[in-house]
Amino acid sequence: MIMIHPRTLSQKTDQFSKSVTKIIEMGFDPSSLMFVHGLATHSGVKKSIWEAKLAVYRSFGWSEDKILSMFKKQPVCMTPSEKKIKTTLDFFVSKLNWTPADISNYPTSLFLSLEKRTIPRCSVLEVLLSNGRMRKGQMGTALIVAENVFLKNYVVKYEDDLPHLLKVYQSRIEGA
């Protein structure tokens, strides 16, 4: 905690104690590193803002259990602004037809840049899906891998059969 989230320790004792209790009630193991991240995230967001972010998730059909499950897996899913969460969820639900389960399996995807990463990669993935080269369930991994891995596994790998993939990808990046 001191090394990665020292600011969390600077809050008032009673507020810190309430945050620790709340995180433990959520099911975080106090001996785990995820506890530290959960505590830092939860204590760093005002209660009214926290509730507003929960309301955004609920508005997309998320249950309390699904939100908690995702928060436990990747606490920083509660750090983007309400607008960023709404915009990103709208993209995943409306454009990709992802369910809360799909999204919560890859919570890191919620705070990637839509314009610079998610949309360009999805343009390639849509081509691969429509050509039967991949399944929808593989999309989450493709969004979170490093750039060089993405290019190798999803563009270069298919350049003989689908030579336009690189142009599709580059055009979406340049348009960002």
**Other Cβ atoms closer than 10 A to 128:** 20
Residue 2 has pLDDT above 90, yes or no: no
Q: If you write DSSP's letter for every residue of 4-15 in order, what string do you get?
A: T-GGGGGS-HHH
Q: Determine the residue type at 171.
A: S
Chain center to CA of 123: 18
- Spell out the domain ranges in the chain: 6-85, 114-174
- pTM of this structure: 0.84
User: Angle at Cα 20 formed by Cα 19 and Cα 21, nearest 5°?
Assistant: 90
* pLDDT at residue 49 in the model: 96
* pLDDT at residue 12 in the model: 84
Confidence of residue 176 (pLDDT cuts 50, 70, 90): low
- The long-range contacts involving 172-175, CB below 8 angstroms and separated by at least 24 positions, are 172/119, 172/120, 172/123, 173/116, 173/120
Evaluate whether 43 touches 15 at the Cβ level (below 8 Å). yes
When pLDDT is averaged across residues 141-147 and rounded to a whole number, the result is 94
Mean of all residue pLDDT scores within the chain:
91
Q: Which of 144, 122, 148, 146 is CA-nearest to residue 134?
A: 122
* pLDDT at residue 6 in the model: 78
* pLDDT at residue 175 in the model: 63
In this predicted model, which residue has the larger pLDDT, 8 or 97?
97
Evaluate whether 125 touches 142 at the Cβ level (below 8 Å). yes
Residue 1 has pLDDT above 80, yes or no: no
Q: What is the pLDDT of residues 44-81, one digit of tens each?
A: 889 999 999 999 999 999 999 999 999 999 998 999 99
